[in-house]
């Protein structure tokens, strides 16, 4: 068993078009590192120097990881991680 | 070209007017691959701001999962500008993340004039498209 990671349309260029991929790790940070070893460049789209990018939402099962522990959120086999780009904008 | 039922166009404008002076935002879902906007889903603007909008992250999660379960996709993503024209701003372009969606912009700057325009935004490029209000289309619900 592994951790399922659901990938939004705009990032499927990194996964060969796959809607979901599998990975492993004890924390979200480790999971993203593991994914990046097979889907190079994906991590960079989700994380910058200070943590998760502001306009990317990452959910562990049904919770936004911002309300859990961010990149340090523990993850385990059988979990589902969902990535969604924030829908945002403004008039400036 | 965006083809939309008159009732759905009216719902977007009514939502934008109701939330003025804050920006309003939402989605019209449709069957995946159909390019037909059918199911109107007004969203909260988590920023509650006259100059910015952002979908509430938990509401977005629920709505996106529901679309997935129904084999739908966001055919239209709309939001309003409250003091400027209905044209994507630099911010709108930099955060646009659904290259397959019609980005609908409404302006509520003039209470008597409905500005309703549609764009494709992909790879930082904005392309305006024609909006066809199809009276023949049955309004859902």
Q: How far is A88 from chain B (nearest CA, A)?
A: 4
Chain center to CA of A69:
14
Chain A residues inside the 8 Å CB shell of B121: none
Q: Give the nearest partner residue to A92 out of B51, B58, B61, using CB atoms.
A: B51
pTM of the model: 0.92
Q: Which helix (H) or strand (E) holds B141?
A: none
Alpha-carbon gap, residue B48 to B24, rounded angstroms = 9
CATH architecture of B2-133: 3-Layer(aba) Sandwich (3.40)
Is the Cβ pair B95, A92 closer than 8 Å?
Answer: no
- CATH number corresponding to A3-85: 3.10.20.30
Q: Give the residue from B114, B56, B24 showing the smallest Cα distance to A86.
A: B56
> Domain map of chain A by residue range?
3-85
* Per-residue pLDDT reduced to its tens digit, B109-118: 999 999 999 9
SS3 A23: strand
Q: Is the pLDDT of residue A87 over 80?
A: yes
Q: Give the nearest partner residue to A57 out of B52, B57, B89, using CB atoms.
A: B57
ipTM of the prediction? 0.91
Alpha-carbon gap, residue B20 to B114, rounded angstroms = 13
Q: Which helix (H) or strand (E) holds A92?
A: none
**Interchain CB contact of A8 with B (< 8 Å):** yes
Q: Give the residue from A47, A55, A49, A38 showing the smallest Cα distance to A73.
A: A47
Alpha-carbon gap, residue A64 to B57, rounded angstroms = 7
Q: What percent of chain B stands above pLDDT 90?
A: 91
């Amino acid at each position: 068993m592994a951790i399922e990671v659901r990938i939004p349309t705009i990032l499927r260029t990194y996964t060969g078009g796959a809607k979901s991929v599998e990975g492993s790790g004890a924390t979200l940070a480790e999971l993203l590192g593991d994914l990046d070893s097979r889907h190079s460049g994906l991590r960079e789209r989700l994380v910058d120097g200070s943590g998760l990018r502001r306009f990317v939402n990452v959910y562990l099962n049904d919770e936004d990881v911002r309300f859990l522990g961010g990149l340090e959120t523990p993850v385990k086999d059988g979990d589902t991680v969902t990535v969604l780009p924030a829908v945002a904008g403004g008039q400036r | 070209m965006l083809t939309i039922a008159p009732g759905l166009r009216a719902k977007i404008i009514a939502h934008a007017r109701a939330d003025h002076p804050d920006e309003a935002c939402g989605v019209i879902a449709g069957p995946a691959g159909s390019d037909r906007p059918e199911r109107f889903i007004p969203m909260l603007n988590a920023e509650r701001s006259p100059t910015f909008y952002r979908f509430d992250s938990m509401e977005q999660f629920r709505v996106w999962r529901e679309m997935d379960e129904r084999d739908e996709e966001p055919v239209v993503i709309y939001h309003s500008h409250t003091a400027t024209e209905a044209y994507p701003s630099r911010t709108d372009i930099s955060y646009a993340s659904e290259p397959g969606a019609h980005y609908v912009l409404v302006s509520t700057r003039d209470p008597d004039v409905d500005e309703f325009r549609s764009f494709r935004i992909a790879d930082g490029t904005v392309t305006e498209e024609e909006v066809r209000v199809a009276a023949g289309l049955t309004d859902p619900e």
